[in-house]
Amino acid sequence: MTAPILQKMGVILTDRASRYAVTGATVQSREEIDATLSALKQDRAYAKATHNTWAAILPTGALKADDGEGGAAMVILRMLERAGLENHLIVVTRWYGGKKLGGDRFRRVQDCVRAYLEEYDLEAD
């Protein structure tokens, strides 16, 4: 298996001192998802993040993980489904800023995924 090619956008927004970044990569299997997450976490900042929430739709089905950010992976998954984007992993990273965001955290996840899909022209036509 070759090393994953990460498409990192870095920190794209801040809300009440929490910082959000978004990263993605083309993947074909759970093993490639794990390798991509491992490659992302080689960057110490991402390894120390509060949450690295992710989702992907593979031929074998949808996979997702909240990484402690309850419900956030489902937001990513639904956006992948709406975009018709398969075999692609999207990771939204959050560094907690000390203030709870309530439901706004889901809007920030949506903002990150939307920015990623627009940046890489991956939106459904």
Alpha-carbon span 6 to 37, nearest angstrom: 9
- Model-wide pTM > 0.75: yes
Q: Please check the confidence at residue 2 and state whether its pLDDT lies above 90.
A: no
pLDDT band of 1, cuts 50, 70, 90: low
- Where residue 56 falls among pLDDT bands split at 50, 70, 90? very high
pLDDT in tens, 22-53: 999 999 999 999 999 999 999 999 999 999 99
Q: What integer is the mean pLDDT of 86-109?
A: 91
3 pLDDT band, cuts 50/70/90, is low
